[in-house]
């Protein structure tokens, strides 16, 4: 069901990384995207659920959706530059 949220196809695999690496990977991924681009970050560290949205808020990017299954957190982000 989590896969439904990713219709744009761009995905960042941040699984098995611990905080703050998922944030660092997200930050570096966004550098190569344009404003309006959407992508999904896939994480296993539950801390990512608060850290990535926090990083988005301070940098002005939009969190479109957050889904959590037993092992994974998926966060859909729209880049705002």
Partner 1 sequence: MSKNTHKAISLISGGLDSMLSTQLLLDQGVHVEGINFFTGFCVEGHTHAIRKKDKKKEKRNNALWVAEQLGIKLHIIDVIEEYKSVLLNPVHGYGQNMNPCLDCKGFMVRKALEWIKENDFDFIITGEVMGQRPMSQRRDTMPVIARESGAGDLLLRPLCAKHLPETYPEQQGWVDREKLLSFHGRSRKPQMALAEEMGFKDYSQPAGGCCFLTDANYSAKLVDLWKARGNREYSLDDIILLKVGRHIRPKPSFKLIVAREEGESRFLHGYRYRYKSLTTISHAGPVVLIIGELDAEDLVLAAQITARFSQGRDDSEVTLQLEDSENKKQSVTVVPIKADKVLPEWYV
List of residues contacting partner 1 (CB under 8 A): 16, 18-21, 23-24, 27, 44-47, 49-51, 54-55, 57-59
- Report in angstroms how near the CB of residue 49 gets to partner 1 at its nearest: 8
Cα separation, 12 vs 25, in Å, equals 8
Active site residue 19: yes
Q: Which is nearer to partner 1, 9 or 32 (CB)?
A: 32
Cα separation, 66 vs 77, in Å, equals 9
Q: Which residues, 6+ apart, have CB-to-CB distance to 18 below 8 Å?
A: 45, 47
Q: Which is nearer to partner 1, 38 or 45 (CB)?
A: 45
Residues known to be catalytic: 19
């Amino acid at each position: 069901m989590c896969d439904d949220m990713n219709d744009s196809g761009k995905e960042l695999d941040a699984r098995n990384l611990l905080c703050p690496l998922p944030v660092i990977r997200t930050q570096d991924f966004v550098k190569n995207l344009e404003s309006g681009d959407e992508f999904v970050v896939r994480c296993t560290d539950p801390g990512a659920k608060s850290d990535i949205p926090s990083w988005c808020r301070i940098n002005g990017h939009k969190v479109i959706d957050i889904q959590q299954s037993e092992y994974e957190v998926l966060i859909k982000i729209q880049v705002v530059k």
